[in-house]
Amino acid sequence: MDISKNDKIKLAQRIAWIAAGFALIMAVLLIANFVQTKLNKPIDNKTIPALVKRLSESPGDETLKAEIRAFDLMARKAYFTSQWQIRTGSYLMFLGIIISILAIRFVLSAKSKLNEIDKANEVAGLDKLVAQKWVIYVGSGLVVLALVSGFLSSNSLKEYMVNENIVAVEDPATIPTASTEQVAAPIEQTTQSAIPVTNENVTTDVVTPANPSETAIVEVAAKPAGLPTQSELKANYPFFRGAEGIGVASQKNTPTDWNGAGGKNVVWKVKVPKSGFSSPIIWGDQLFVTGADAQARMVYCYDKNSGKLLWEAAADNIQGSPSGMPKVTADTGLAAPTMATDGRAVFAIFATGDVIALDMNGKRLWARNLGVPDNHYGHGSSLIIYKDNLLIQYDTNRSGKLLALDTQTGTTAWETARNSKISWSSPILVNTGSRTEVILTTNPNVNGYDPQTGKELWNIACLSGEVGPSSGYADGMVFAANEYAKLVGIKIGATPEIVWEADEFLPEVSSPLAINGLVFIATTYGVFACIDAKTGEKLWDQEYGDAFYSSPIYADGKVYITDMSGKTHIVKATKDYQLIGTSELGEKAVCSPVFSDGKVYLRGMNNLYCLGAN
């Protein structure tokens, strides 16, 4: 029996040696992968923008288009291969470490039982090896270095296809921050009157508002009683991408021809005092946007008919707000998420985690800080309202959650923890016929929740990467997509399921639009594509030459999509490609178009526009 025991000890010893050696080999390979990637970048992040720029100069160059397609395909393959190597190598390394540890523990335990733990009877030097601290230090160092290399390598393509000269999006904000998420602070009860604004604070190029000496503050009609109806929401433009957040506008007689630089069909044009990439929202005759810098975070209210700045309010003196601003880049700033309104109040959120509620005259109702989001970009999710709850998707590196704040007091109505990774997408609200759901996209899940209670109704794991696009919805199907992942059509109901998948055209930022049995996708490599909503089959694609960060919006039988150069391409919402026209803003743009009373409102990098027949 002693011989059998010794044989087992020797076998365990060999397993320990082999497993430890295997783990070290995996560690070395992970480190080598990192070094090779840094020294010989698989993808030159300046290549695609350069090719796209060449294509804008020669839009009919089919060879150049094919080259861009091939390069993008190579990028995706390189990304997936890199991710697979890192993930698989890490798993194998950990497996080797665990097996080695278990084998050593077996050897030591077995020897202890045989009373053989002494120098004279060490088994083939295993104990001596374990006792040598330098072996442990070197091995541990390699493992740690491999893990660090793997982590850094996993984000090596983060800046792929990011143009250094363009500003990032209004939807998935790219705000780097080293701050950590704080515990939600109590509500700040101090109120703040709206700041009266004279006309000297507004630059109006086309229409000059009334007497410049007048104070521009106005009184809005008394707050309506009760909650807004669905027809009220659709008659206005209360959220990012419309009344349900799905990119469908109810407005008719929408314009199709303008030129911002030349002044053609420009009703008014104003410069917003502080920059931001939030899209406008509208209720009645009031239009709202946010802007921010290191000195202040602001909400601005404009008269949508004249462009006059009616009032502005600062998100300041909020308990729990960070004393220093998160580190941000010029690409994004601090005001990326789009606001929300129910016609009774307006709500805004900033990259600091500050949330503020104002009445329609700009008086502060409440404010609170949710904690600076712990992520490497910053908070980008826009707001949406269900009944008397303000819904906030708050997915960070530390945790994910869906919050509902009472619109009147700011207190937390409910909070649901999410099994998700960080994301920058925004929630949408849909009526499935049997119930209303709030639907969120992230890595790896698409989730449906009860907006009244926060209860999870369903989830499907189908995405990956850094998820920026929100989902689309139509006819009982949810459409979710992300660059370097896939586009999926999900049939929801008693048992949600993926009906189809596609991966030819994928958005990095822009959200899918579903309408008339079609799904429209806008990519960062300048392609706008139409997909059959039932089958996932591509119906057509069109290359415009400029990246898309804004989301496509449907209005009056037409689909509007604005590229980053500021050109809005307008097509019929049909299965055959029919271009109605292309209108130019005259400056770069990343925000999505907004519609009201036969006008389209667009926020450019420098100015806010009202466009349409005078």
pLDDT score for 111: 65
Mean pLDDT to the nearest integer, 181-208: 42
Q: Tokens standing for 509? A: 């930022």
The domain boundary, picked from 154, 177, 210, lies at 154
pLDDT score for 149: 59
Mean pLDDT to the nearest integer, 426-430: 97
Percentage, residues of the chain above pLDDT 70: 71
Residue 176 pLDDT exceeds 70: no
Residue 158 pLDDT exceeds 50: no
Residue 495 shares a structural domain with residue 585: yes
The domain boundary, picked from 154, 183, 207, lies at 154
Residue 439 shares a structural domain with residue 515: yes
Is there a domain that residue 182 lies in?
A: no
Is there a domain that residue 361 lies in?
A: yes
Residue 88, classed as helix, strand or coil, is helix
Residue 208 shares a structural domain with residue 318: yes
| DSSP bridge pairs for 354 | 369
Is there a domain that residue 184 lies in?
A: no
Summarised one tens digit per residue, pLDDT across range 351-362 is 999 999 999 999
CB-neighbour burial class of residue 227 (10 A; exposed 0-12, middle 13-18, buried 19+): middle
Please answer whether residues 289 and 283 qualify as being in contact, where contact means their C-beta atoms are separated by less than 8 angstroms. no
Summarised one tens digit per residue, pLDDT across range 584-613 is 999 999 999 999 999 999 999 999 999 998
Residue 110 shares a structural domain with residue 201: no
Residue 148 shares a structural domain with residue 215: no
- The torsion defined by the Cα of 143, 148, 151 and 153, in degrees rounded to 10, comes to -100
Residue 71 shares a structural domain with residue 219: no
Residue 479 pLDDT exceeds 80: yes
Residue 422 pLDDT exceeds 50: yes
What is the domain count for the chain?
Answer: 2
pLDDT score for 179: 36
Residue 239 shares a structural domain with residue 342: yes
Q: Which long-range contacts (CB under 8 A, 24 or more apart) does 529-532 make?
A: 529/504, 529/505, 530/575, 530/577, 531/487, 531/502, 531/505, 532/575
Give CA–CA dist 403/418, Å, rounded: 10
Residue 208 shares a structural domain with residue 116: no
Summarised one tens digit per residue, pLDDT across range 323-356 is 888 876 666 778 999 999 999 999 999 999 999 9
SS3 content of the chain, % helix, strand, coil (to 5): 25, 30, 50
Is there a domain that residue 139 lies in?
A: yes
Residue 421 shares a structural domain with residue 478: yes
Mean pLDDT to the nearest integer, 453-470: 95
Is there a domain that residue 177 lies in?
A: no
Summarised one tens digit per residue, pLDDT across range 135-145 is 555 566 656 66
357 or 56: which carries more pLDDT confidence?
A: 357
Is there a domain that residue 570 lies in?
A: yes
Is there a domain that residue 163 lies in?
A: no
Q: Give CA 74 to chain center in angstroms.
A: 24
The domain boundary, picked from 154, 183, 209, lies at 154
Structural domain including 298 reads: 195-611
Residue 145 shares a structural domain with residue 227: no
Summarised one tens digit per residue, pLDDT across range 292-319 is 998 999 999 999 999 999 999 999 999 9
Out of 179-183, 406-410, 490-494, least confident range: 179-183
205-223: burial string, b at 16+ Cβ within 10 Å, e else: ebbebeeeeeebbeebeee
Summarised one tens digit per residue, pLDDT across range 518-534 is 999 999 999 999 999 99
Which residue type sits at 275? S
Residue 96 shares a structural domain with residue 232: no
Is there a domain that residue 128 lies in?
A: yes
The pTM assigned to this predicted structure is: 0.72
Mean pLDDT to the nearest integer, 428-445: 95
- Look up the CATH number of the domain holding residue 463: 2.130.10.10
Residue 135 shares a structural domain with residue 240: no
